[in-house]
Structure 1
Amino acid sequence: MSEAIDSSMPNLDVPTHLEYSQDHVWVDASVSPAIVGLTAYAANRLGELVYVDLPEPGDRVEAGDEIVELESQKAVEPLVCPVAGVIRYVNRGVADDPSIVTNDPYGEGWILKIELDDDEPDLLTAEEYAAVAR
Structure 2
Amino acid sequence: MAARRISDEAGLAAVRAWEADPDGAGRSTVATAVRYALEELAHRAPGNSVEVRVPPFGVTQAIEGPRHTRGTPPNVVEMPAPVWLGLATGSLTWGQARAEHAVDASGNRSDLSALLPLFATRTAARRARKGTLE
Q: TM-score, normalised by structure 2?
A: 0.30
The answer to which structure has the higher helix fraction is 2
Q: Which has the larger radius of gyration?
A: 2
Q: TM-score, normalised by structure 1?
A: 0.30
